[in-house]
Structure formats: C-alpha cells, structure tokens
C-alpha cells in the first residue's frame, strides 16, 4: 500500500498549486497514520520511520515532539527535572560554547523578541554543558550548537536535553571524538558516491582539488548551519533521525550532483569550486533530493564504499573502519528479518532494472542514472531498505534503534 | 529538474576568457573569536558584519584590487579557530598559500599566548620562511578591555620577524585600517613575486557570480583603498 501511494509523490510537491488538494488529503491521511502508529503497543517504529522519510516528513513540530523520541528510542516518562547548576564556569568548553551560542542569532526565528531569544540561548548553553558533563568521552565541536538549537526550538528544554544526549552518543558520536579523524573518514564517502553517479563531476572536482571541507559544516550540523529556513532544517532532521547515521553524507552528495551544471561551468580551481559549493542554494527541492539520497543509499550502501573511503585516507581511518566492522559483525539478526530483507531487495532490484537506464562506462562499474530512477523508484521501498541496511553498517550505532 | 542530471557537454572556456589576473592567496588563522571572520569580511565587503557565526571548516572570501594599474585577486581563506579543526582538517588549505595573517584579540591574553602554537601549525604544514607573515591584534576599539599591550606584541612580532598591526574590524577610525593592512600584504606579494603568481592554466573559464556578490564587489571596489 505504501508503495503504491508513494509513486505519485514526485508529480506534485507540497507547494505545487495543482497538487494542493491532493497533498492536503494525503497530509490528512498521513497525520492519521502517524497517530495510529503511535497508539499501538508497542509503538510501530518502522511505520514512524517511513513517515519521517516520506513526503513532508513529520509535518508539524507537535508531531515531532511525539515521534522524534520514538525514533531515538528515548523514554519520555522520566525527564530530568532541572539541569544541574554550576556547570558553567567550571567546564572546559564553557567559553567556546558561550562564544558560539552568542553568535548563533541566525538560528532563531526572525521575529522573536530579544528577551525570549536570550532566554533560549541560556537554555542552549545549559543543555550543551549538561550533556558534555554527563558524557566526558564527548568533545564539543563548533557546529554542535547548531544541532542542539534545532532540538531546543522544536522540543523545548527538557525533552531536547534527553534527545540530544541520545543523539550525541549515537548519530553524532563520530564527530565528538577528541580528534576529527572519524569525521574526516565520513567525509571520505562523499567523492566515491559522486563518482558512481556522475564521473564527470567527480573528475572535475578532483582536478580542481577542491577537497571535501565545503561539506564539513553540512555534515556535522546536519545542515542546520547552512540552511536559513527552519522548516527545511527540521524536515531534514526528520529524515536523518529515521535513517542510518551516514545518510547526511549521501544527502551532501545529492546536493552536489543536483548542481552538476553549475559545478562544471565553474572555473576548475579549488577556490572557485569551494566557493560555489559551500554556498548552498536556499531553494532546493528538498523532497526530491531526500528521495534521491535514499535511492543512492540503496544503490551504493556504505559497505560498498567503505574500502574506497578508507583508501583515501589510510592511516587513522583503519581504526574506525575496524570499529565499524567489529560492530557490524556483532550484530546478529533473526532469520525472519533476513528473509524479509532479501525479498525487499529483490523487489527493489527488479524495479530498478525495469526503470533505470544502466549506462555502461569504462570507469564506473554500474552507473544508474538517477535522472531516470530518482522519482520513479518508489520511495517507500527505498526507505524500507534504508532502514534495514542501517543494521549492517553502523559506525557506533546502537542496534536498539532499529528494532 | 531531471534534466539537470543529464550529461552536460558544454565545457567552460567556450566564451572568451577574461584577461589573466594574478591571484594572491592569503590564509587567516588564530584562536576562535579573535575576529578572523570580521576582518576578512571587513576587507572584502568594506564593512563590519552585523552578525557572524562560528566558522566551521574554511570560508572563502575574495576581492579584486588594483595595484599600479594591475588587477589582482586577493583570496582570503578564513579558517575555523577551534583547535580540533586544525591539523588534518584544514591542512588542504595551506597548500600554495602566498601569505599568512596571524590574528589575536588584544582583549584576550589567551589568544596572544596561542600564537606560538599557530606558528608551529604553519611550520607543520611546511610553509617556507619566504612566505610573508603578518601579525594582527584585533578589537582595538575596546580600549578599556585591553589585555595585550603593544610592547609585548611588538616584541613577539620582532622575534618572528613579522610586522605588527593593531586594528579593529569594527571601528573604522583606526590608523591601521583593515583595508590598509591587507593592501600592504598585497603590495609585498606583488613586489616579491612578479612572475610566480598567475592563474593556473586550463582554468580560464569564467566564474558565474551571484547577484549579491556582484553588488557586494562593486561596493567594495567603490570604496577608497
Ligand atoms: N568590539 C569588537 N568586536 C569584534 C571585532 N572583531 C570581531 N568582533 C566580535 O568578536 C566576535 C568573534 O568574531 P568572529 O569574526 O566571528 O571571530 P572568528 O575569529 O572568526 O571566530 P571563529 O570562526 O570561531 O574562529 C564577534 O562577536 C564579533 O562581533 C572588533 O574589531 N571589535
Ligand atoms: Mg570565523
């Protein structure tokens, strides 16, 4: 049922005039489905994941308050009453956090009164220090505050605190090491993904020696640092919360690929290409890009890219790859899951074959043009596969997220 | 939309390339919060930014200047100050740098004490001694809060044989104007390397500029410097 429904998605975006009525009714149905998934015992987390990924994401902040905790498997019954006092001056990162939060004015809604914003900024500092204090293995990075502010604005202080803590020890874990070696390793996935889809863009970027730092802030803030419209940010957070922790790097690749023409027209040197790419256009077609990122994840799962990503930067990354491997191999799944997964993959492959134009190229092993695939491969199938593949390659991810 | 993923056959360079201009690449480093973003913005956009945010990774700004009738592109690489971003992360951006600007905050002694670490950072990225370096003490407008006096700063600068500039990205009435400082570097580079710094071959396409930048740049060029 999900599959059928999502086939029509690409045709009418939520903003498209003709599809408006259509979208309204689908939206209403989606709200109903989310309520349904929330009301069963145990909560239907798989359905919630699909909702978070599919068109429009979780729709409202009210729904997000109820669903995000489920996606992160956080129990909201016993929230902390009050955050510990006196953390401030004593904490080693206090000054950096203060400096970053003070400068984070752009993250707050434009019309918000100053005193309200200042109150929230204080809460933001408290949450960050609270989480860092309770988890001495985590190190603050500039950009972490861009993620936390999003949770604060959507969920309020208490709920944000517990969710951010969970997120920090899982999805963001690699960014919070003492060094950025693991972050760099994750950035190394970017070029292999681009190469698989569009070798020309890949080669151009290699020739320009642009590197991947243009995507650093995208990755470690889940795009919170670079998108000015808060609605787009939370929409992406719906998506990322429901997916594998490496999904943001696939999304980064999708953005670069979407700008193919601009990139190829750019002067082929580091400065020009870095400059072009680091300025994200604010009017991206998010729903389409999200479904593309899902497609790419299915076609080129991290396991397939891991070796290349590691080769790009051999030294430190060996350790993290090993960690991935160790974890992945420790993850045992019951047969029924395996069987279901195999069936889904078979179905997906069939569709892909039917609908995709496979361009044989000497350099690219199998290049499936997303122009053809992107919207036609049912997002539902992709989403499901995303969820399941996440089990296999999870850097420091807790299995409990993917029941 | 789907067409945007079609193969593009038109390559840059089909239009007449603009006359070759030299590019000076300058990297700006120093602790978080000393005002690197404000200084680079001030130079490129001609004003103090009303809001800055933490720099994550590396930002790039550029301005076309004219020296002795020659148009020169000054590229400023504004780096992240937090320690974890140094080392491996921004390594890439130290390559082919023509000059280095070290920044500290005159109201923050710790940022001054970090300078040796920044100099060491440069050394590790194998920047040669011939690469010009300058030292900039920022936020001089905050006169009551000064923690680093001119004397120790000058001493330090001398010991590393670099010129010292004390300035303010915010307050435009300073003697040492931000514009003037970067222009000094550019002059130095121009006299030092008359032949070396030219645009890489094969990169002679044109760079599409967004409107705001064009406007910004016009504003910049109109300002007196
Ligand atoms: N009074 C005064 N404040 C300044 C001046 N320059 C910068 N600031 C302020 O200092 C703070 C930090 O400035 P930034 O330019 O963002 O600092 P940065 O060095 O780029 O910091 P990172 O990006 O974290 O490395 C901001 O709040 C600025 O408004 C100055 O000349 N005078
Ligand atoms: Mg900065």
Nearest Cα to Cα of residue A78 among A69, A89, A86, A91: A69
Please list, in sequence order, all residues whose beta carbon lies within 8 angstroms of the beta carbon of residue A108, skipping any fewer than 6 positions away.
A117, A120, A149, A153
pLDDT of residue A352: 52
Q: Are A200 and B8 inside 8 Å of each other by CB? A: yes
Q: Percent helix, strand and coil across chain B, each rounded to 5?
A: 35, 20, 45
CB within 8 Å: A267 and B207:
yes
How do B58-67 and A358-359 pair as beta strands?
unpaired
Cα A294 to ligand 2 centroid, rounded to whole Å: 33
Interface ipTM = 0.78
pLDDT of residue B139: 96
Which residue ranges have their beta carbon within 6 Å of ligand 1?
Answer: A 103; B 32-38, 52, 54-55, 80-81, 138-139, 141-142, 168-170
Q: In what order do the strands lie in the sheet with B58-67?
A: B58-67, B70-79, B22-29, B99-105, B133-138, B164-166
**pLDDT at site B191:** 85
Mutating which of A16, A272, A317, A373 best tests the B interface, going by the most B Cβ atoms within 10 A? A272
Predicted local distance difference test score (pLDDT) of residue A370: 38
Residue-level pLDDT at A289: 96
The answer to whether residue B37 scores a pLDDT higher than 50 is yes
pLDDT for residue B216: 40
Chain B residues close to A258, C-beta within 8 Å: 4-5
Contact in structure between A24 and A206 (CB atoms under 8 Å): no
Segment among A335-349, A388-402, B140-154, B176-190 with least mean pLDDT: A388-402
Nearest to B88 by CA among A337, A312, A379, A159: A312
The whole-number pLDDT of residue A395 equals 40
Q: Helices A45-53 and A61-71 sit at what angle, rounded to 10 degrees?
A: 130
Q: Which pLDDT does position A267 carry in this prediction?
A: 93
Distances (CA, A) of A335 to A151, A345, A348, A400, B88: 37, 15, 20, 17, 43
Per-residue pLDDT at A350? 53
Residue A346: the pLDDT is 55
Task: Write out chain B residues lying below 8 Å of A100, CB-based.
Answer: 54
Q: Which of residues 221-280 of A touch B (CB under 8 A)?
A: 221, 225, 257-262, 264-269, 271-272, 274-276, 278-279
* pLDDT value of position B19: 56
Mean pLDDT by 10 residues, chain A (403 residues): 36 55 90 96 92 94 96 86 70 93 93 95 95 94 98 96 94 93 93 96 96 96 95 97 94 97 95 94 94 92 82 44 36 39 54 44 39 34 42 38 36
In A, residues 295-324, which contact B (CB 8 Å cutoff)? Answer: 316
> Average of pLDDT values for B128-148?
93
Please state the pTM of the whole predicted model: 0.79
Largest CA distance in chain B: 63
A260 burial (CB, 10 Å; 0-12 / 13-18 / 19+) is: buried
Predicted pLDDT of residue B171? 85
Residues of A in contact with B92 (CB under 8 A): 209, 211, 213
Chain A interface disruption, residue of B5, B7, B59, most A CBs within 10 A: B5
Q: Which atom of ligand 1 lies at the shortest distance from residue B49's CA?
A: 29
DSSP state of B7: P
* A-B Cβ pairs (cutoff 8 Å, strict): 126
**Torsion sign (Cα): B157, B98, A215, A174:** negative
- Taking phi over 0 as left and psi of -120 to 50 as alpha, with beta for the rest, B81 belongs to alpha
User: Which one of the ligands is nearest to B41 CA?
Assistant: 1
pLDDT at A22: 87
Kindly give, in sequence order, each residue whose CB lies less than 8 Å from that of residue B62, ignoring residues fewer than 6 positions away. A271, A275, B44, B73, B74, B75, B76
Alpha-carbon distances, residue B186 vs B126, B154, B180, B195 (angstroms)? 22, 22, 10, 14
Question: Is the pLDDT score of B210 beyond 60?
Answer: no
The Cα A57–Cα A380 span in angstroms is: 13
Q: How remote is the CA of residue B82 from the centroid of ligand 1, in Å?
A: 13
- Segment B138-150 shows an average pLDDT of 95
């Amino acid at each position: 049922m999900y599959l059928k429904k999502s086939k029509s998605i690409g045709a009418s975006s939520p903003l498209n005039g003709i599809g408006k009525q259509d979208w309204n009714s689908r939206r209403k149905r989606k709200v109903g489905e989310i309520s349904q998934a929330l009301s069963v015992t145990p909560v239907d987390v798989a359905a919630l994941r699909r909702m978070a990924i599919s068109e429009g994401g979780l729709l409202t902040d009210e729904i997000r308050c109820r669903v995000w905790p489920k996606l992160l498997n956080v129990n909201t019954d016993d929230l902390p009453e009050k955050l510990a006092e006196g953390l401030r001056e004593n904490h080693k990162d206090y000054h950096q956090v203060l400096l970053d939060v003070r400068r984070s004015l752009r993250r707050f809604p434009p019309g918000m009164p100053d005193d309200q914003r200042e109150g929230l900024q204080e809460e933001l500092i408290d949450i960050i220090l609270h989480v860092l204090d309770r988890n001495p293995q985590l190190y603050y990075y500039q950009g972490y505050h861009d993620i936390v502010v999003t949770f604060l604005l959507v969920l309020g202080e208490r709920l944000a605190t517990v969710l951010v803590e969970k997120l920090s020890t899982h999805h963001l874990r690699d960014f919070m090491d003492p060094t950025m070696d693991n972050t760099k390793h994750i950035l190394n996935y970017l070029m292999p993904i681009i190469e698989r889809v569009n070798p020309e863009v890949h080669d151009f970027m290699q020739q320009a020696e642009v590197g991947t730092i243009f995507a650093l802030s995208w990755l470690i803030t889940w795009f919170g640092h670079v998108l000015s419209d808060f609605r787009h940010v939370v929409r992406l957070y719906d998506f990322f919360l429901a997916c594998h922790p490496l999904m943001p790097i696939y999304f980064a690749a999708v953005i670069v690929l979407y700008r193919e023409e601009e990139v190829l027209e750019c002067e082929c040197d580091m400065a020009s290409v870095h400059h072009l790419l680091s300025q994200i256009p604010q009017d991206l077609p998010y729903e389409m890009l999200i479904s593309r990122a899902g497609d790419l994840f299915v076609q080129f799962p991290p396991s397939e890219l891991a070796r290349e990503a590691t080769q790009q930067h051999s030294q430190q990354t060996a350790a993290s790859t090993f960690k991935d491997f160790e974890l992945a191999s420790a993850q045992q799944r019951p047969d029924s899951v395996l069987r279901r997964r195999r069936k889904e993959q078979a179905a997906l492959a069939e569709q892909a074959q039917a609908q995709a134009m496979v361009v044989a190229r000497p350099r690219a092993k199998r290049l499936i043009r997303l122009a053809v695939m992107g919207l036609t491969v049912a997002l539902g199938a992709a989403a499901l596969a995303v969820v399941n593949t996440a089990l296999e390659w999870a850097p420091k991810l807790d299995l409990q997220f993917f029941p | 939309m789907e067409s945007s993923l079609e193969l593009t056959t038109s390559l840059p360079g089909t239009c007449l390339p603009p006359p070759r201009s030299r590019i000076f690449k300058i990297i700006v480093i120093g602790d978080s919060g000393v005002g690197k973003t404000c200084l680079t913005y001030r130079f490129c956009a001609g004003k103090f930014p009303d809001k800055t945010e933490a720099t994550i990774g590396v930002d790039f700004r550029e301005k076309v200047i004219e020296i002795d009738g020659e148009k020169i592109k000054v590229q400023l690489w504004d780096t992240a100050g937090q320690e974890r971003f140094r080392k491996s992360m921004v390594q890439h951006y130290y390559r082919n740098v023509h000059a280095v600007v070290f920044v500290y905050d005159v109201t923050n002694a710790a940022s001054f004490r970090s300078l040796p670490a920044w100099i060491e950072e440069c050394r590790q990225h194998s920047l040669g001694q011939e690469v010009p370096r300058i030292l900039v003490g920022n936020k001089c407008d905050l006169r009551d809060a000064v923690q680093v006096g001119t004397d120790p700063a000058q001493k330090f600068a001398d010991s590393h044989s670099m010129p010292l500039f004390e300035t303010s990205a915010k307050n435009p009435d300073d003697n040492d104007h931000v514009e003037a400082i970067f222009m000094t570097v550019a002059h130095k580079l121009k006299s030092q390397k008359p032949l070396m710094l030219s645009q890489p071959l094969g990169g002679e396409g044109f760079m599409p500029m967004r409107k705001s930048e064009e406007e910004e740049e016009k504003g910049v060029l109109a300002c007196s410097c």
